[in-house]
Chains A and B, each alone.
Chain A
Amino acid sequence: MGKRKDFSGYLFILPALVIIVVFRFYPILQAIRMSFFKWGMAGPLYTVGLKNFGRLFIDPKFYQSLGNTFWYVIFVVPLTIIFSIYFAQLLNQKIRGRGAYRTIYYLPVVTSIVAISVVWKWLFNPDRGVLNAIFGLFGLEGLKWLNDARGLFEILLAPLNVEPSGFFAGPSIALCALIIMAVWHNIGYCVIIALAGLQNVPEQYYEAAKIDGASTWKTFRHVTIPLISPTIFYLLITQSIFAFNIFTPVYVMTQPPGGPLGTTKLVVFYLYEQAFKLWNLGYANAIAFVIFIIIFILTQFQKKFIERRVHYE
């Protein structure tokens, strides 16, 4: 290897390097710097030190958005994974139309989330929506869906005369609508991943379980689950990060955005609102910093597992 060749390496990475430094690396440094300033798009810049963070700690709207996001992630991720493993299990056998089912389940994954949000808003329409029409077929009373700020636990515990409020009221019915849509949207991707995991389980294990006379549930619990646990863990982490970053449905479906009563305001939407509606860019960066910390912790787990997956190929 001569000196000339050493130089060509830099030349080859240069285009990518310039883009990544200017549009990824530098913005992050800038984000850290900006979070210490009061920063609007116009007008002077004030150094406020840690005040943006101080304000964050006493901002009830920020806490509400974190609480909403918590409920959203806590419901969306396990529901998606449980349903997808269940359907993957059903699909992991020789049955007719298997390919067609896979195609159908996967369809929402390639559909734009804006279009999906527009359509689901129509399905959730309290007066004219098809979901309430289906409820009606079963003699059930329709819900107000996206207009209902009542918490899920508040409703469920009402007969017991328990009245949880605030965070403990759980996700509002409006947020539950977003949760239902998200599960619908993500399930196809998770089914495909779970199916790949299930197909890696050697047939002998199932045969051995059969000979031992294990029931379907016992086989599933003690053979399948442990053997696909890396897949489950991978889904858990990636889906959590994905759910944490959700923005579009809030923007498109809720009225006013983040409503009713701020119960669908997820943390990324709150950041968007602070940065690009109110132009509090410094404050928005403080929010971004908290998002980063939370996602960083999640990514640390993920990294290990993605690397392991890549080795398999």
Chain B
Amino acid sequence: MNKKYPVHILLALGAFWMLLPFFWMISTSLKTQIEALKFPPTIFPRVLMFSNYLEAFRQVDFSRYFLNTIIMTAGTTCLVFITSILAAYAFARLRFWGRDLFFTLFLAMMMIPVPVYLAPSYVILSRFGWIDTFLALIIPWSANVFAIFLLRQHFKTIPQELFDAAKIDGLNQFQIITRIVVPLSKAVLITIGIFQIVSNWNAFLWPLIVTHSDSMRTVQTGLAYFAQAESTNYPLLCAASTFITAPLIIMYFFVQKQIMESYARTGLKE
């Protein structure tokens, strides 16, 4: 088949359009401010200004923002694993009064859009005295209904014989979870982990609302703040955008298939 040239041209045009902003971000991040403001613009920087990256780090406390984001991501992800494995196990494998009722209640919470609980959550968090602390960034997101749902579906597929054998061996519920259920659920747990990492790293509206001080900013609110403070210094803004997106893009190249699958499963973003 030699008639595939048009297809390739169309796909390449699409790829060009998809890559243009990334290329322009990196290219601008290495230009001097004078060169960046040239019009028509130069495509490649004449001198590579790697110092822009250091300069962006120096202007605002990005290392602090990175640390905060890592703490927030690690905290929510660990807690989500614990709460959802426990809950999903109970929903899939244990019998207790009101089980289906609770599960329905959980699922119903998925239908509430985030904007609805922004204002009341703020009031609740300020009553707890949690505003501007890690508690406000982590605790409200430490249970994830969709993770519970995915795990429950998976736990139901584990053969009953394994549980019977474990009981004969005298394992208690916790041992069954750590030795049998978790090792058999790696794929789903990876899906949940990836989803947690991506959504925490990119979270913006929530950190914007529940934190105020500079030392509590995450990478995203930090970048938004930097964009307001330095609204015309495009090389620095592009440098900051590059190093904020780099961790996830690097991760994406390694676990691309899992990322696509976990997003296809979990549906909505943010």
Q: Is B47 an interface residue (CB 8 A)?
A: no
- In the complex, the answer to whether B120 meets A133 with C-beta atoms within 8 Å is no
Question: Which 5 residue pairs are nearest across A and B when measured between Cβ atoms?
Answer: A9-B96, A12-B90, A19-B143, A30-B120, A27-B120
Chain B residues with CB below 8 A from A245, complex form:
113-115, 270
Per-residue CB contact flags for chain B residues 218-252 toward chain A (1 = under 8 Å, else 0) read 01100110010000001001101110110011011
Chain A residues with CB below 8 A from B201, complex form:
112
- In the complex, the answer to whether A192 meets B267 with C-beta atoms within 8 Å is no
Q: Is B94 an interface residue (CB 8 A)?
A: yes
Q: Is A204 an interface residue (CB 8 A)?
A: no
Known: A12-B94, A114-B224, A115-B245. A295 touches B113 (CB 8 A): yes
- In the complex, the answer to whether B119 meets A20 with C-beta atoms within 8 Å is no
Select from chain B the residue with minimum beta-carbon distance to A241.
Answer: B268
- In the complex, the answer to whether A104 meets B19 with C-beta atoms within 8 Å is yes
**Closest CB in chain A relative to B211 CB, distance in Å:** 12
- In the complex, the answer to whether A6 meets B96 with C-beta atoms within 8 Å is yes
- Give the complex CA separation of A20 and B108 in angstroms: 11
Select from chain B the residue with minimum beta-carbon distance to A242.
Answer: B268
Q: Is B202 an interface residue (CB 8 A)?
A: yes
User: Assuming A24-B112, A122-B238, what are 10 further A-B pairs, CB within 8 angstroms?
Assistant: A1-B95, A9-B90, A13-B87, A13-B102, A90-B11, A101-B11, A118-B237, A119-B24, A247-B204, A275-B122
User: Interface residue count for A (Cβ, 8 Å)?
Assistant: 92
Within 8 A of A (CB), among B7-30: 7-8, 10-11, 14-15, 17-22, 24-25, 28
- In the complex, the answer to whether B204 meets A8 with C-beta atoms within 8 Å is no
- In the complex, the answer to whether A118 meets B87 with C-beta atoms within 8 Å is no
Chain B residues with CB below 8 A from A28, complex form:
112, 116-117, 120
Per-residue CB contact flags for chain A residues 205-247 toward chain B (1 = under 8 Å, else 0) read 0000000000000000000000000000000001001101101
Select from chain A the residue with minimum beta-carbon distance to B117.
Answer: A27
Q: Is B263 an interface residue (CB 8 A)?
A: yes
- In the complex, the answer to whether B241 meets A8 with C-beta atoms within 8 Å is no
Interface of A is mostly: helix
**Chain A residues in contact with chain B, CB under 8 A?**
1, 5-10, 12-13, 15-17, 19-20, 22-28, 30-31, 34, 41, 87, 90-91, 93, 95, 97, 101, 103-116, 118-123, 127-128, 130, 133, 136, 184, 187-189, 192-193, 196, 238, 241-242, 244-245, 247-248, 251-252, 268, 271-272, 275-276, 281, 284-285, 288-289, 291-292, 295-296, 299, 303, 306, 310, 313
Chain B residues with CB below 8 A from A103, complex form:
253, 256
Chain B residues with CB below 8 A from A192, complex form:
260, 263-264
- 23 intermolecular pairs with C-beta atoms under 8 Å apart: A8-B90, A8-B173, A13-B86, A15-B87, A16-B87, A23-B117, A23-B143, A26-B120, A27-B116, A87-B14, A110-B248, A110-B249, A110-B251, A111-B249, A113-B204, A114-B244, A118-B227, A122-B28, A241-B268, A271-B118, A291-B113, A292-B116, A296-B111
Chain B residues with CB below 8 A from A121, complex form:
227
Q: Is B70 an interface residue (CB 8 A)?
A: no
- Give the complex CA separation of A59 and B59 in angstroms: 41
Chain A residues with CB below 8 A from B145, complex form:
20
Q: Is B259 an interface residue (CB 8 A)?
A: yes
Within 8 A of A (CB), among B131-168: 139-140, 142-143, 145, 148, 153
- In the complex, the answer to whether A130 meets B24 with C-beta atoms within 8 Å is yes
- In the complex, the answer to whether B95 meets A20 with C-beta atoms within 8 Å is no
Chain B residues with CB below 8 A from A107, complex form:
18-19, 22, 249, 252
